[in-house]
Amino acid sequence: MELRRTARVHIAGHRGLVGSALVRHFTAQGFTNLLLRSSDVTDLRDRDAVRRLYAAERPQAVVLAAARVGGIAANAARPVDFLSDNLRIQLNVLDAAREFGVQRLLFLGSSCIYPKYAPQPIPESALLTGALEPTNDAYAIAKIAGILHVQAMRRQYGLPYIAAMPTNLYGPNDNLDPRTSHVLPAMLQRTHEAHIRKAAQITHWGTGTPRREFLHVDDLARACLFLLEHYDGDAPVNVGTGEDVELRELAELVAETVGYRGTVAWDASRPDGTPRKLLDTSVINALGWKPEISLREGVRQTYDWLRARA
């Protein structure tokens, strides 16, 4: 199922963390006909705008990385935005893809779609077997709807569309806004600022006891192309490292990387979220894919990017 390097490939959301990594990887792999449209040109929440784009450009493959995303604070504060925007983006792109003959499509879900108390590591079969984490349930429901939409496309129209579930992502072009960012970039930014100010102490959210798995976004980009060329099945596929870390350990690694020597404290009045979220990656590993970037190296690379943009 090798994609021709001249194929018209729409990378939806190409300016974001995931989309920009996809552009880097697809370009490095020789793709010469990428379709890239920013939201100020084509708002994917606008059904007519998406239909016009696909009618004019006729993409042959799509990676749907466009989404409203954010950390625990943003999800808890604006659940309607996370539900509504993501549902509209997914419906519009998937329906236009079918209507205008897209041959291959990869929908990106998220590991937060799994039940809060799913077995660890989490197999793909855990989907829809329990209650969600309340702080991101609206986003999770939208992503679950996207996965079911892909599966329905396969059943009703026989289209070889697939879905992947990445774990927590980080890397260049991450969101550093403390109001909306995910845990790792938030830690990096907070620790960097404390280091510059020579602050005696920094405080992170929660107790520091939850465990999280982190995947460098460049590894995810490699996995996306790999799945497009090596997988055609109904079930979504987990994409992760197969290893997790306690957030207290992560905070220590971040402080070491930044060179911060102050005290790291924790605000237990803030929510922890899901206690553990480690993906079972045996399916994608059996297909022949494994991550290449270690957490230590990835955090260093991301901090180099953060400093370069400061």
pLDDT 10s digits, 243-279: 999 999 999 999 999 999 999 999 999 888 778 899 9
Which residues have CB under 8 Å from 82's CB, separation 6+?
A: 68, 70, 74, 75, 136, 138, 139, 142
pLDDT confidence bin for 48, thresholds 50/70/90: very high
CATH second-level architecture of 9-173+214-243+277-293? Answer: 3-Layer(aba) Sandwich (3.40)
**Residue 246's Cα: distance from chain center in Å?**
20
149 in Cβ contact with 43 (< 8 Å): no
Note if the bond before 185 is cis, omega within 30 degrees.
Answer: no
Check whether 182 has a pLDDT greater than 90.
no
Residue set of the binding site for NADP(+): 13-19, 108-111, 143, 166-169, 182
> Which secondary structure element, helix H or strand E, spans residue 287, and what is its range?
helix 282-287
Q: What is the pLDDT of residues 74-92, one digit of tens each?
A: 777 889 999 999 999 999 9
- Domains of the chain, by residue range, sit at 9-173+214-243+277-293
> What per-residue confidence (pLDDT) applies to 78?
87
Q: Which of 139, 161, 170, 260 is catalytic?
A: 139
Residue set of the binding site: 13-19, 108-111, 143, 166-169, 182, 190, 205, 212, 272
pTM for this predicted structure:
0.94
Rounded distance, CA 147 to CA 161, Å?
Answer: 10
Q: Residue 139 catalytic?
A: yes
| Pair type for strands 9-12 and 34-35 | parallel
Report H helices in 78-208: 79-99, 137-157, 183-197
Residue set of the binding site for substrate: 190, 205, 212, 272
